Amino acid sequence: MKTLKAWKWSIAFSCFFLLVGCSTEVNEQEIMAQYDQILIASSELFRYHVKEEDSYYNEQYQTVGEVYSLLEDIMTDEAVEQLINSIFIREDNRLFYNNHFTGYLEEANFFSIEQNDMSDFYVAVRESIVNPGLRMLHMDQLTLEQRGSTITVNGSNVPVYFYEEDDLYSSQYYGLLGYPSQDYLTFSFSFIKKGDKLKMNDYEITAF
């Protein structure tokens, strides 16, 4: 059974198949580690929720500078800005969740004494870099393209399996967060060399 608990093993094992046999100047282990590190770091940006009047923010990452400190070693400035703009809005030198993520937290009654409804969590993160399914991919189903110093990892309508439908515990647990048993993702991650560092330069994620 493939569940969210299998992330680390799945990504490490599958990335091997992605790059074996490919002619590239980039070490396959380097891009594998960078991909995983990017997803781990990015997931930090939709956590530690705090409510301030009608807005919500991340207590650990409240400013652009704090986000850059988290990501600047693994992403270019362009990618960091792209990520910030996909999750936050900027007000008075601070970052607040955008309407999409704020709407989810409001609907979930996240800070209410009433019962929280987290069933739209997966819907909220589905087409974002904080989608947990991105760390459960079978990389041998993807393609890798290299043009000059740019390497792009592409996936088209790739199936992601979260749990078996007949597994009562998993279906109930992940069902509370709105996870389907299976989803399909299309995405691309582009990497470039900056000095001696491999950094993500651009990404795109969609779901069907």
What is the pLDDT at residue 34? 87
Residue 18: pLDDT band by 50, 70, 90 thresholds?
Answer: very low
Over 70: is that where the pLDDT of 151 sits?
yes
Mean pLDDT in residue range 124-133: 96
Share of the chain above pLDDT 90, in %: 57
Top pLDDT among 187 and 16 is at: 187
Residue 11: pLDDT band by 50, 70, 90 thresholds?
Answer: very low
Could you tell me the pTM of the whole model? 0.82
Top pLDDT among 5 and 97 is at: 97
Within a 13 Å sphere around the CA of 27, how many CA atoms are in the beta-carbon half? 7
Length of the chain: 208
How far apart are alpha carbons 48 and 59 in whole angstroms?
Answer: 5
What's the pLDDT tens digit per position in 94-115?
999 999 999 999 988 877 766 5
Query: Could you give the C-alpha distances from 138 to 35, 112, 146, 184, in angstroms and in order?
Result: 13, 39, 20, 12
Top pLDDT among 16 and 52 is at: 52
What is the pLDDT at residue 21? 38
Closest CA to 41 of 208, 206, 199, 194: 199
Q: What residue segments make up the domains of the chain, in order of their start?
A: 4-207
How far apart are alpha carbons 81 and 156 in whole angstroms?
Answer: 25
Which element (helix H / strand E) includes 11?
Answer: helix 7-19
What's the pLDDT tens digit per position in 38-97?
999 999 999 999 999 999 999 999 999 999 999 999 999 999 999 999 999 999 889 999
